[in-house]
Structures are given as structure tokens and as C-alpha cells.
């Protein structure tokens, strides 16, 4: 039986563009994982893999026009956004190369023998080693930054872990192009091309997570798909870490004072954030707590005006469009929900952004209204109007985990007068990133970034963006009484590589 074909589809028309590949069989997955496994040795040198990451960035940049064109044809995200996303992806690859060079991620700790400890301490030297082959599950909504050469791949390669990427069906042709770039970059540094494998197909993704030589996985996608893979990872004879980013409501709290101060600016800012990329960001603000009363009314009017004036957009695929239309319709039907701007279909392929409002007290009792506490992927946000602080607290207490939580404060509150610090503390348990007077869309690549949060935002305490994302793919190992002559240079007293480390308890940098 021939393997199922993989088609590239134009979301602007719903029509097939070309057959890109075939879905990977179990044998294909096995071959890809074995080839990746064999690339561990060549990837072990830090200098080599830093150079590999930089070459990959350079080659992606050199091929920008073709790659952006291919991405736009499959995703309809538009050349401007995609050009920016590709630049971000290259920046990210180079940032991880810098991290590899610095070496702090090896987390070197050296203890000389100490007979005064209880029990006595022998010579102990610990650092982190790569886990092995990492399975990477591409996201639909970031064809560059969270896909074949995205953050999971970049951080895994930086850690010394080869990858096998499961392509997202929304951009299979682009996935092939980017994988080819990675293979070319690898070859230039004498690394086998299998270091970055690519497979297509849902079943292949399931085979991949079950493969005995796969040691960890990174995932960006839906709660349903992510949870199924998380469960499969946990059910293996040898369970493996599954770092999945599944879903997030990204609540925003607007204080009464903030609404009074700048209702129009907040409404306009919110409109921009929730419609960015046709609402297809994992950090799209999906629930906004706005005070009842005149200032809140102004905010909602400003939001509605801006959203109402937003051009229709095309979602990543038609299944997503169907889900969006069903999701907003189901929400709009709930008692007490109004639609100052009704989200919905625009022709056969596009959608219109919209705003739903609901009294906050409707969200505190459970039942059908709990649907409003779930992410709805696409350009819609739910504005919950609160009568007092107790309603805010009640709604916050019912929220699932989030990637981000945002508070809009007045200038006085931001300066420390009033409840600003308390609100920050109240939002902290809800999310991995807490913003003040900003919008959650736009996740910077930086050492201090944390893109993760309590379940279902992520399935672990890790981040998929920022310097510490590399930690996901390493495990510590300690050497006891190993003579210097046998130790890797990273663990020698004289520190020939100049690594930051903890040496006899003292931090050395």
C-alpha cells in the first residue's frame, strides 16, 4: 500500500497546491530516529554545533525571499509578518550559538573532598550532558519560529541533541525547504544530515514519541493533540520528558483607575494585540476583565471601533476556520453574552474579528459559561465586565494556567500607590509571564524570557523561548573520584575552557 500523500494547501482558496511528500511510515520514523541518534557524536563538540547554528541562520537569511514566499503560500500570514518571523528565527539560532559558546548552561559544579561534611564529601564534579534525540512537534502558527528550525530545534541542537521534527500539516512544503537548509548547514560542518530529520503525518508523530531512542520532546499546539502526546510519552516503558505548550487564555485585568485614565488607548492596544496575525498567537489576550460603568464602556467602545475596522483575515487552514466559527457561535449563544462586534465568516475563506462581552459574575458559577474560560483560537476576545474587586478575585480563582497574565494600571498604581504590587502577586500564580501596561503578543528572545506556565499553558515548568529553554534537553551527571587525566576539560580544576562554575561552593564567573 502506498503511503498517504502530503499536500500543500493554499488557505486563501482551500485548494491543494502540490504534493510535497508522503506520510512517514513506522519504518521511515525509525530510520530518521536512528540517523539522528548516529549524529550525537559529531554534534558533541561545542564549537562545531555553535558554528552549525550560525551557518543555519546565515543560510536561512540568504534564502529569505524564497522561504517567505513558500511560507505565505501555505499559511496566508503575509510577507511582512513572515519576514519578521524569519529574522527572529535567525536571531534565535545565533542566540543559542552564543549560549553554547558561553557554557553556563553546562552548570558545572566542582567539590573537592571535604572530611568535615557529614558524611564526608569525596571529589565530586558535575555538569550536564545532552539527553539524546529530541522529537520536535512544529506549530501551525509560527512556520519559522516554532517549527523546523524554531526554538525547540535550536535549543536542542545547542544542547547537543539531534532532532527529528514532525512537520505541521499547514506548511509541509516550507518544512521541507527549511529541513534542507539545516541539512546543508550540517554538512558544511561535517555533521551528518540525519542530525535534523523531518517526518510528516499524524501517525508518524505518534510513532516518534514512542520510539525507544527518542529521549525528550518539544511540542507547540492544541490542548487535545498535546495532551495525547504527553500521555503517550508518560506511558512509555521508559517515560520521557514532554515539554508541551498547549493552550492559554492570557487574561488581562484593567483596573478602574487605568480605565479612567486611558480607556481609549487600552481599547485600541487590546484590539491590536488580539487581532495580530488574525488572532493566531498563543499569547493572544482571550479574556479581559474590564470594570462596569462609564470608563469601562469607553474602553469597550474603543475596542469595538478598532476591531470593527480591522480587515478580514485568512486563518491557517479551513479546519481551524470551522473551529473558530463554531467556537464563537457557541460562545455568543450563552446567556448574557453580547457581541458589540460579531466575529464570523467573511466569504468562503476569511473570517472577521469580533468582541464578546459578558458580566463577570457569569464566569464564577461554573456550568456552560466555563466555555468562556477556554482558549478560542482566532481573532476574538471576551470582555468580562466586573462590578467590584470580589468579582475579579472570583474570576481569577477559576482560571486555568496561562502563558501570560497582564494588568493595566494607572500611572499612580504603577508608581506604587494602591494595589499594583498586590495585583502582580495575585496574577503570578496564574501564569509564566506577568505584564504591566503592555500586551502579551510579541515574545522576546532574551535570557530572562519565560514562555511557559501552569498547565495547560505548558506540561512542564520549562520555557520554549529564551536562554533557559536549553535546560530541557540536558541531564546532570556527577563524577566521583575521577582522576583529572580522565575527566572532560569542562570538569578540570584549571578550567581550560573558562566556564562559569561553582567551585568548592563559590560561584565563579
Catalytic site positions: 245, 282
Query: Is the CB of 8 or the CB of 462 nearer to a copy of itself?
Result: 462
Do residues 384 and 363 make contact, with C-beta atoms less than 8 angstroms apart?
yes
Among 22, 31, 121, 228, which residue sits at the site for a copy of itself (rule: CB under 8 A)?
121
Residue 206 beta carbon to a copy of itself: minimum distance, rounded to whole angstroms: 17
Residues 424-443 that bind a copy of itself (CB under 8 A): 424, 428, 431-438, 442
Among 25, 38, 48, 91, which residue sits at the site for a copy of itself (rule: CB under 8 A)?
91
Segment contacting a copy of itself by CB under 8 A, of 81-89, 152-160, 304-312, 313-321: 81-89
Segment contacting a copy of itself by CB under 8 A, of 150-158, 236-244, 270-278, 319-327: 236-244
Q: Establish if 80 lies at the interface with a copy of itself (CB under 8 A).
A: no
Burial class (CB in 10 A: 0-12, 13-18, 19+), 509: exposed
Among 224, 347, 448, 496, which residue sits at the site for a copy of itself (rule: CB under 8 A)?
448
Helices (H), 363-431: 389-396, 411-414, 420-427
Q: Establish if 224 lies at the interface with a copy of itself (CB under 8 A).
A: no
Do residues 248 and 283 make contact, with C-beta atoms less than 8 angstroms apart?
yes
Q: Establish if 60 lies at the interface with a copy of itself (CB under 8 A).
A: no
Query: Is the CB of 369 or the CB of 451 nearer to a copy of itself?
Result: 451
Residue 254 beta carbon to a copy of itself: minimum distance, rounded to whole angstroms: 15
CA distance 69 to 67: 5
Do residues 138 and 130 make contact, with C-beta atoms less than 8 angstroms apart?
no
CA distance 292 to 302: 15
Strands 214-220, 242-245: pairing kind = parallel
Among 58, 184, 454, 495, which residue sits at the site for a copy of itself (rule: CB under 8 A)?
454
Q: In the 8-state DSSP scheme, what is residue 201? A: S
Among 47, 62, 202, 235, which residue sits at the site for a copy of itself (rule: CB under 8 A)?
235
In sign, the C-alpha dihedral spanning 239, 241, 243, 249 is positive
Query: Is the CB of 7 or the CB of 479 nearer to a copy of itself?
Result: 479
Window 125-144: contact mask with a copy of itself (x via CB under 8 A)? xx--x-x-------------
Residue 342 beta carbon to a copy of itself: minimum distance, rounded to whole angstroms: 32
Residues 468-497 that bind a copy of itself (CB under 8 A): 468, 474-483, 485-487
Q: Establish if 78 lies at the interface with a copy of itself (CB under 8 A).
A: no
Listed in order, strand segments (DSSP E) in 317-440 are 338-341, 344-346, 350-352, 354-359, 380-386, 402-408, 431-436
Q: Establish if 46 lies at the interface with a copy of itself (CB under 8 A).
A: no
49, containing H or E segment? helix 46-62
Q: Establish if 415 lies at the interface with a copy of itself (CB under 8 A).
A: yes
CA distance 355 to 383: 7
Q: Cell match 486611558: residue?
A: 262
Q: What is the phi-psi region of residue 278: left when phi exceeds 0, alpha when psi lies from -120 to 50, beta otherwise?
A: left
In sign, the C-alpha dihedral spanning 240, 243, 247, 249 is positive
Q: How many residues bind a copy of itself (CB under 8 A)?
A: 83
Do residues 282 and 145 make contact, with C-beta atoms less than 8 angstroms apart?
no
Query: Is the CB of 79 or the CB of 122 nearer to a copy of itself?
Result: 122
Listed in order, strand segments (DSSP E) in 268-374 are 287-291, 313-314, 338-341, 344-346, 350-352, 354-359
CA distance 135 to 232: 13
Segment contacting a copy of itself by CB under 8 A, of 72-80, 114-122, 133-141, 194-202: 114-122
Query: Is the CB of 323 or the CB of 460 nearer to a copy of itself?
Result: 460
Q: Establish if 322 lies at the interface with a copy of itself (CB under 8 A).
A: no
Greatest pairwise CA separation for the chain in angstroms: 78
Q: Establish if 249 lies at the interface with a copy of itself (CB under 8 A).
A: no
Among 47, 80, 234, 329, which residue sits at the site for a copy of itself (rule: CB under 8 A)?
234
Residue 200 beta carbon to a copy of itself: minimum distance, rounded to whole angstroms: 28
Q: Among candidates 363, 349, 341, which has minimal Cα distance to 275?
A: 341
Residue 438 beta carbon to a copy of itself: minimum distance, rounded to whole angstroms: 5
Q: Establish if 62 lies at the interface with a copy of itself (CB under 8 A).
A: no
Residue 249 beta carbon to a copy of itself: minimum distance, rounded to whole angstroms: 15
φ and ψ of 346, to 5 deg: -130, 100
Residue 424 beta carbon to a copy of itself: minimum distance, rounded to whole angstroms: 5
Query: Is the CB of 5 or the CB of 41 nearer to a copy of itself?
Result: 41
Amino acid at each position: 500500500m502506498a503511503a498517504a500523500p502530503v499536500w500543500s494547501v493554499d488557505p486563501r482558496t482551500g485548494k491543494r497546491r502540490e504534493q510535497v511528500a508522503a506520510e512517514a511510515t513506522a519504518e521511515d520514523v525509525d530510520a530518521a530516529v536512528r540517523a539522528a541518534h548516529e549524529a550525537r557524536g559529531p554534534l558533541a563538540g561545542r564549537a562545531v554545533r555553535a558554528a552549525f547554528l550560525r551557518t543555519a541562520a546565515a543560510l536561512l537569511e540568504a534564502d529569505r525571499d524564497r522561504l517567505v514566499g513558500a511560507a505565505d503560500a501555505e499559511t496566508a500570514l503575509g510577507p511582512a509578518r513572515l519576514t519578521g518571523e524569519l529574522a527572529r528565527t535567525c536571531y534565535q539560532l545565533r542566540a543559542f550559538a552564543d549560549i553554547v559558546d558561553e557554557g553556563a548552561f553546562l552548570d558545572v559544579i566542582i567539590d573537592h573532598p571535604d572530611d568535615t561534611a557529614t558524611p564526608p564529601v569525596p571529589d565530586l564534579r558535575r555538569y550536564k550532558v545532552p539527553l539524546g534525540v529530541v522529537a520536535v512537534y512544529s506549530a501551525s502558527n509560527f512556520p519559522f519560529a516554532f517549527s523546523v528550525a524554531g526554538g525547540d530545534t535550536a535549543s536542542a541542537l545547542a544542547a547537543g541533541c539531534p532532532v527529528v521534527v514532525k512537520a505541521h500539516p499547514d506548511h509541509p512544503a516550507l518544512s521541507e525547504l527549511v529541513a534542507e537548509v539545516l541539512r546543508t548547514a550540517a554538512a558544511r560542518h561535517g555533521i551528518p544530515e540525519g542530525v535534523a530529520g523531518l517526518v510528516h503525518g499524524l501517525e508518524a508523530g505518534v510513532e516518534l514519541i514512542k520510539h525507544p531512542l527518542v529521549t525528550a520532546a518539544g511540542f507547540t499546539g492544541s490542548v487535545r493533540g498535546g495532551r495525547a502526546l504527553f500521555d503517550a510519552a508518560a506511558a512509555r516503558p521508559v517515560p520521557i520528558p514532554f515539554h508541551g505548550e498547549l493552550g492559554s487564555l492570557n487574561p488581562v485585568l484593567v483596573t478602574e483607575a487605568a480605565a479612567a485614565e486611558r480607556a481609549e488607548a487600552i481599547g485600541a492596544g487590546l484590539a491590536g494585540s488580539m487581532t495580530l496575525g488574525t488572532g493566531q498567537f498563543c499569547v493572544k489576550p482571550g479574556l479581559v476583565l474590564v470594570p462596569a460603568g462609564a470608563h469601562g464602556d469607553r474602553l469597550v467602545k474603543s475596542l469595538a471601533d478598532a476591531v470593527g475596522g480591522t480587515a478580514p483575515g485568512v486563518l491557517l487552514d479551513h479546519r481551524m476556520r470551522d473551529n473558530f466559527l463554531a467556537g464563537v457561535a457557541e460562545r455568543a449563544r450563552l446567556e448574557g453574552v453580547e457581541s458589540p462586534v460579531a466575529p464570523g465568516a467573511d466569504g468562503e475563506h476569511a473570517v472577521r474579528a469580533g468582541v464578546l462581552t459578558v458580566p463577570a459574575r457569569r464566569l464564577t458559577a461554573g456550568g456552560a459559561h466555563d466555555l468562556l474560560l477556554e482558549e478560542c483560537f482566532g481573532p476574538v476576545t471576551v470582555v468580562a465586565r466586573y462590578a467590584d474587586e470580589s468579582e475579579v478575585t472570583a474570576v481569577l480563582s477559576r482560571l486555568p494556567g496561562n502563558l501570560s497574565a497582564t494588568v493595566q494600571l494607572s500611572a499612580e498604581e504603577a508608581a506604587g500607590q494602591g494595589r499594583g504590587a498586590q495585583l502582580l502577586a495575585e496574577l503570578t500564580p496564574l501564569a509564566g509571564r506577568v505584564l504591566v501596561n503592555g500586551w502579551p503578543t510579541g515574545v522576546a528572545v532574551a535570557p530572562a524570557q519565560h514562555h511557559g506556565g501552569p498547565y495547560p499553558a505548558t506540561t512542564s515548568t520549562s520555557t520554549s523561548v529564551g536562554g533557559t529553554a536549553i535546560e530541557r534537553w540536558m541531564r546532570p551527571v556527577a563524577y566521583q573520584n575521577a582522576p583529572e587525566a580522565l575527566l572532560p576539560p569542562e570538569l578540570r580544576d584549571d578550567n581550560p575552557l573558562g566556564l562559569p562554575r561553582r567551585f568548592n561552593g563559590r560561584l565563579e564567573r
